[in-house]
Amino acid sequence: MNLLAILISAMLINNIVLMQFLGLCSFFGVSTKMKSVVGMGLAVIVVIFLAALITFPLYRYVLVELNIEYIDTIAFILVIASLVQLTELVIKRVSKSLYKALGVYLPLIATNCAVLGVALKNVAVPQTYPEALMYALGSGLGYAFIIITFTAIRLRLDSANVPKALKGMPIALVTAGLMALAFMGLSGLI
């Protein structure tokens, strides 16, 4: 039950995009085509989960044991960047269709602060490894859910009669703000 609560909390209540304002560059940049967004969402889920799989034990069993936990940010940046390169390499070799759907977005995720943010938050609070993995999975799913929903709204806004001064990014920002307000209503869910 606890793991399920963490999953739902990370996905909906403490959503990384709308509540923690992480990964906003790709959130606004990619959310123009539904096809791109689905690929990006899947890539983010995979990378955030893999990053948590590696960074949590690296912090607990290497950095803390050696009393050098203060280098966590730089270590995580490099580990995540390496992980993204390695994942891209493997997908490129193994499956061309998977690479086309998901792998092409991996270089964008290497610099996505949502991945680093989740890795750092995971080690900042005392929790177990399964809890950390569940939080990472929930965060990735939350990102994918929000970016897909946001894209659907943006696509509908393209055909709406929006005032000229608000067209494009301004109305997108207003929409994201309203979505954040709506998601604040879920704060009492758990």
Partner 1 sequence: MPQFLILMGILVGIIVLYVGTMYLNKKVAIPEECKTAYLEAQSCESCASRDGGSCGFSDALEFMKEVKL
Note the residues at the interface with partner 1 (CB under 8 A): 25-26, 28-30, 32, 36, 39, 62-63, 66-68, 71, 74-75, 78-79, 81-82, 85-86, 88-89, 92-93, 96, 99-100, 103-105, 107-108, 164-165, 168-169, 172
Closest residue by Cα to residue 37 from 177, 151, 167, 168 = 151
Minimum Å distance from CB 189 to partner 1?
Answer: 31
Minimum Å distance from CB 34 to partner 1?
Answer: 14
The label of the residue with tokens 């995720």 reads 109
Minimum Å distance from CB 27 to partner 1?
Answer: 9
DSSP 5-58: HHHHIIIIIT-TTTTT--SHHHHHHHTT-HHHHHHHHHHHHHHHHHHHHHHHHH
**Given the complex with partner 1, which of 41 and 138 has the nearer CB atom?**
41
**Given the complex with partner 1, which of 107 and 130 has the nearer CB atom?**
107
**Given the complex with partner 1, which of 36 and 127 has the nearer CB atom?**
36
**Given the complex with partner 1, which of 28 and 145 has the nearer CB atom?**
28
The label of the residue with tokens 């938050």 reads 121
CA 78 vs CA 83, 110, 168: distances in Å: 8, 10, 35
Minimum Å distance from CB 97 to partner 1?
Answer: 9
Residue 45 near residue 109 (C-beta atoms within 8 A): no
**Given the complex with partner 1, which of 14 and 112 has the nearer CB atom?**
112
Minimum Å distance from CB 14 to partner 1?
Answer: 24
Residue 119 near residue 55 (C-beta atoms within 8 A): yes
